[in-house]
Amino acid sequence: MKKRICIIASILALTFGSSITCIAGSWQQNQIGFWYQNDDGSYPTNSWMQDSDGKWYYFDENGYMLHDQWIGNYYVGSSGEMLINTTTPDGYQVGPDGAWIQPNAQTAEQTVTLGMKNAVKKAQQYLKYMSFSRKGLIKQLEYEGFSSSEATYAVDAVGADWEVQCAKKAEAYLKYTSFSRTGLKKQLEYEGFTGSEVAFGLLAVGY
């Protein structure tokens, strides 16, 4: 069944002021996943797409719809649709525009405990010597004995650029061994980096 689809050509296109082109096309599926094929045979890659119902989807560099992961500050659910006005499966709030509501915006008067302060120090120490994904650093702090809330607070408080962290991790891997693009992509995903972070990291090292 064909739909009218509005495609925004930039990864940063989640703003209503962007230029939008509407063309007809249809969803396709194979053993790998879903993609959206336009009538002219083209398909969106590394970009967001809004359908006629106003729902947003994100497609990777091969044109496949991503799901169950963060794309920058936005989360796409199991159906691929960007979540709005809800709590994500990993416990974060997203607003009416789908953007992650950062902790300081939610709890400006939150009491910072000693555990939170120490978790921040530990997170800063880790990032000084090695690179982490957001998810990976939270897990590492939890392994160190910090609670989930302390670890999450600390990781968000350090203000790391996770795309840059992904690029550093990719460089570190390539420094010690060789990877195909596919192999490096899988390794970075295993480390907990999101689709957009992995795309940035691969591009940074020349893939």
List the CATH number of the domain containing 8.
Answer: 2.10.270.10
Residue 89's Cβ-side half-sphere holds a number of Cα atoms within 13 Å equal to 10
Question: Letter for the amino acid at 202?
Answer: L
Q: Residue 193 in contact with residue 66, Cβ under 8 Å?
A: no
Q: 3-class DSSP state for residue 174?
A: helix
Residues 142 and 68 in one domain: no
- The label of the residue with tokens 């709590």 reads 87
Tell me: do 93 and 14 sit in the same domain. Answer: yes
Question: Do 119 and 142 belong to one domain?
Answer: yes
pLDDT at 104: 62
Predicted pLDDT of residue 171: 95
Residue 95 and residue 117 in one domain:
no
pLDDT of residue 109: 56
Say what the pLDDT of residue 93 is: 86
Q: Looking at the structure, do residues 124 and 176 belong to the same domain, yes or no?
A: no
Residues 21 and 62 in one domain: yes
Cα gap 159→161, rounded to integer Å: 7
Per-residue pLDDT, 7 = 44
Q: How far apart are CA 8 and CA 51, in angstroms?
A: 11
Regarding whether 109 and 97 lie in a shared domain, the answer is: no
Q: For residues 50 and 131, state if they share a domain.
A: no
DSSP E strands in the chain: the ranges are 3-7, 21-29, 34-38, 47-51, 56-59, 69-71, 74-76, 86-87, 93-94
Domain that holds residue 171: 162-204
Both 15 and 63 in one domain: the answer is yes
Pair (45, 85) in one structural domain = yes
Tell me: do 14 and 94 sit in the same domain: yes
Number of domains forming the structure of the chain: 3
Low-confidence residues of the chain, pLDDT below 70? Answer: 1-24, 103-110
Tell me the C-alpha to C-alpha distance, in Å, between residue 34 and each of 6, 59, 81: 17, 9, 12
CATH code of the domain in which 126 resides:
1.10.10
Model pLDDT, residue 106: 52
